[in-house]
Structure 1
């Protein structure tokens, strides 16, 4: 019981000391406010327009589909084409459903 009282008393003392010392921090250790940061002579509207122009340019330049980025192959039903022959190579068009496989001769799910 004595140890519980000592722990409670110690935690109360530490929390009081922490709250009192909070205002005693030096100005060097504090984070700079938004008013102190330089904005290179640009207004908020100009910065927003520049960012919007950059994002629009990026969207026009990159035309990849979401499926290509995520490496997601769509599913095929039974009897649908699942591959395409490109000379000696076979390219996959889609992934066959569970229990079926892509026949490399007919290039269909069976």
Structure 2
């Protein structure tokens, strides 16, 4: 059995929340919901069907495979680069990394 406080601590840890304000608030909300829930089930005179029908909007495909003619469009693409193109890509990536660092430093 887990207490509302234990659940709240794990939840705050999972969601990366500050536990000091959130653990008591979450635990209190859980306790209120438990108190509001009836402790004894209502007396049912007759046996009735209590099932719930849930309709899911799921599209089921007829064939789970792609056409062989579509394979080229969906296959991995290997790009062959010359040394000059590779240097240019590395330079562009370095430039982009520096730009992102500058942006990160200006926002903090």
| TM-score tier after normalising by the smaller chain length | under 0.3
Relative to its length, the structure with more helix (as a share) is 2
From the two aligned structures, give the one with the greater strand fraction. 1
Larger Rg: 1
